[in-house]
Structure 1
Amino acid sequence: MVQATFSARREKIKGQPNPSLIFARVSSHQAADLVVQLSPAPKSKPAEVDFGSVFTDHMLTVEWSLTEGWQAPLIRPFGNLSLHPACSSLHYGIQLFEGLKVYRGDDGRLRLFRPTLNMKRMASSAKRACLPAFDQSELLECIRRLVEIEQDWVPHSNSASLYIRPTFIGTEPSLGVKKPARALLYVILCQAGSYFDTKNEAVSLWADPKYTRAWKGGSGDCKMGGNYGCSLFAQYEAEDYGCQQVLWLYGDDQQITEAGTMNIFLHWINEDGEEELATPPLDGIILPGVTRQSILDITREWNEFLVSERYLTMAQLCSALRQQRVREMFGSGTAAMICPIGHIFYQGENLHVPCQDQQITSRLAKELTDIQVGARTHARTQKTEVNDVSR
């Protein structure tokens, strides 16, 4: 495990009190200084909240224009945005977002889990959305500073965290489908407990090939809001069938792709009689999840069974279930982390997926949590990077 800290030059701004700081020089085509304006009225912090419903006292904003480039990053009191009614993000969906978490360890230190992967994915999404490039390391440093200011919001718990939502939107103030000449990058934070209300219970999925989440040549591998908004209709139909999430299928052979907003894994005895942990490959329709990659890294280091990125179909899954070759099936994501799957409603039949033992899911959840909160190091790999927010 790489235990890394960020470094940045701090200076007092003349005539300003000490939380106003000049922060980290960035490249000439971006903002030069990070300025901090603290809220005069901090909110009380609730003990327990629903995911994404209570936000911290401050936010980070950085404006960009074609004529002036990146402006100074600003940490300011949390508040509403002012947008032109013709804003391109509202009319044409020119926007994207990311999701990562900060964890508090038993030692009191705050850690970000593999944030450079989030920055890399965000940069890839920005390129696909025709939004301007940004300095990934400098944005990450600004996020670190925001978290440092909001550190009292990070729960003292291994089962809860502070969720970070970087967002990037086109703010072009005119109609017409074109590359935006103005944009806004901002970051907000909220408390995060359990993503699902089932606690430790397995979720149920509804599988129907009539709906498609993403397709070849599309933007399914980018974290764009349109990928989620267009999934709502199927999500509510899944609930009509008594299921919590959609199992997204693709193509004539009904390839298994994702589960709701999660990457999906199947632990089974495959057709060749081998014990295998399999997940669909990153072929353009699968979101490259940070938790997904971490699971692959960790289980490959276990070296206890075959770990594969390969296509899986509903026909293969149904056959394996009938032959009792399925051991576990689960979804993964930053918000949900590891989520066991218990049932799949498919073609009028409720398929039961074994999940009582949860040997792999519980083991992975513990190992990931231990790494995230700094309870253990990951000496065998340089890939599981944890960045220490504390100085």
Structure 2
Amino acid sequence: MFEVNWTHDKGWGRPLICPIHNLSLHPSAKVFHYAQELFEGLKAFRGVDGNIRIFRPDMNMKRMRASAERINLPDFDGNELLECLKKLIQIDADWVPPYGSGASLYIRPTYIGTEPALGVHSSKDAMLYIICGPVGPYFPTGAMKPVSLLADPRFVRAWPGGVGDKKLGVNYGPQLAVQQLAEKMGHQQVLWLFGDDHQLTEVGAMNVFVYLVNDRGERELVTPPLQSGLILPGVTRLSLIQLAQQWSEFKITERAINMQEIRQLVKEKRLLEMFGAGTACSVCPIGRIHYKNEDIIVPGLPEQESLQLRLYKTLQDIQYGIVPHDWSVII
């Protein structure tokens, strides 16, 4: 693991890469009582050429610093942390799964307030660390298998002006009971809705995309816009938008879309595909939505026409070095 400590009096200490170990923290540490904590998630891939690559890590550093600013943890140099991360992966290179295994090395930078003092104020001590571990497909069903979602408007993930657009642990704890409810009902994830009109926001820990035929007869890829405090600016989300923009075969729109429109699209047979997107799953097809005691079946396109499959394969080709791209940083 990598670790480095910060104190109000001395600033950043000496960074260290060492064997992974338990942390020793005082029971009154800020992280335990006031949720002064954030994290990031990215992956390292063993390419077809044997080289190890990480995908757009500069985006993770930018988002991590934005999260730190929001909960008032001290700023850091994202480029320096990225160099430390690269060194850690070099040392742990044997843990990066081989090409063709469908697996990768998950990387979890974490940043916590550690000052041993009660009282609602910013921590005067902090610790930034990185741990890694090999992972396979996010869902037990495997990659690119459609998932079922629970869309229950009683529960809200985030709100405008809040911190839903930051990668904070406090965003995820309140999701767990709803996620368990979804699993008990036979669903893999929660489709988070917002507002009186039940707008789509995120799928579990993923951004959401809707591929449809609009009322002008055009094919259109829709994803909810990044509103302050409501939706996480996903690295995969941005990458898929930018890839799709290069193809220019359909319209790409960032706009609000609600459950009434989804139901109407299904009724009129204008819904083509829906999928989630995130670091953990890459691209994840959506096959069913349970909403207001109704199962909405999401159709899919044949393999040769499928946009979600095309995006998934294109992203995989970049991440595994099959297609050279400046998004993939060789370690």
User: Please, what TM-score do these two structures have when normalized by structure 1?
Assistant: 0.82
Structure 1 residue 297 corresponds to structure 2 residue 242: yes
Identical columns (%): 51
Map 1:1-391; keep pairs closer than 5 Å. 59-158=1-100, 159-199=102-142, 200-284=144-228, 285-355=230-300, 357=302, 359-378=306-325, 385-389=327-331
Deviations 1:79-114 (A, max 9, x none): 101111001011110000000000111111111100
Per mean C-alpha deviation after superposition, the further-off stretch among 110-119 and 233-242 is 233-242
The AA in structure 1 aligned to 2:104 is S
Secondary structure, aligned partner of 1:230: helix
How far 1:236 moved relative to its partner?
A: 1.2
Say if 2:221 and 2:252, in contact at 8 Å, map to a contact too.
yes
Instruction: Return the letter of the residue paired with 1:298.
Output: L
Post-superposition shift, 1:377? 2.4
Residue 377 of structure 1 aligns with an amino acid whose one-letter code is: P
Q: 1:299, CA displacement in angstroms?
A: 0.3
Root-mean-square deviation (Å) = 1.0
Q: What SS is found at the alignment partner of 2:18?
A: strand
Structure whose alpha-carbon radius of gyration is higher: 1
Distance in 1 between residues matched to 2:90 and 2:33, nearest whole Å: 35
Task: State the Cα deviation string for residues 277-304 of structure 1 (Å, max 9, x = none).
Answer: 0100110211000000000000000111
TM-superposed deviation, 1:356: 5.5
How far is the alpha carbon of 1:239 from its aligned partner? 1.8
Which stretch shifts more, 177-186 or 235-244? 235-244
> How far is the alpha carbon of 1:128 from its aligned partner?
0.3
CA shift at 1:365, angstroms?
1.0
- The one-letter amino acid of 1:178's match is H
Distance 1:101 1:214 in 2: 26
- Secondary structure, counterpart of 1:253 in structure 2: coil
| Residue ranges of structure 1 left out of the alignment (5+ in a row) | 1-58, 379-383
Contact kept? 1:278, 1:307, Cα under 8 Å: yes
Counterparts of 1:69 and 1:184, CA distance in 2: 11
What is the letter of the counterpart of residue 64 of structure 1? W
How many residue pairs get matched? 326
Question: Where does the alignment leave 5 or more consecutive residues of structure 2 unmatched?
Answer: none
Offset at 1:141?
0.2
**TM-score for both structures, normalised by structure 2:** 0.97
1:21 aligned residue: none
1:304-347 CA distances to partner (integer Å, 9 max, x unpaired)?
10011111101111100111101100000000110000000011
Could you say if the C-alpha distance between residues 323 and 276 of structure 1 is closer, same or farther in structure 2, counting changes exceeding 3 Å? Answer: same
Q: Which amino acid aligns with 1:205?
A: L
Deviation at 1:237, TM superposition (A): 1.4
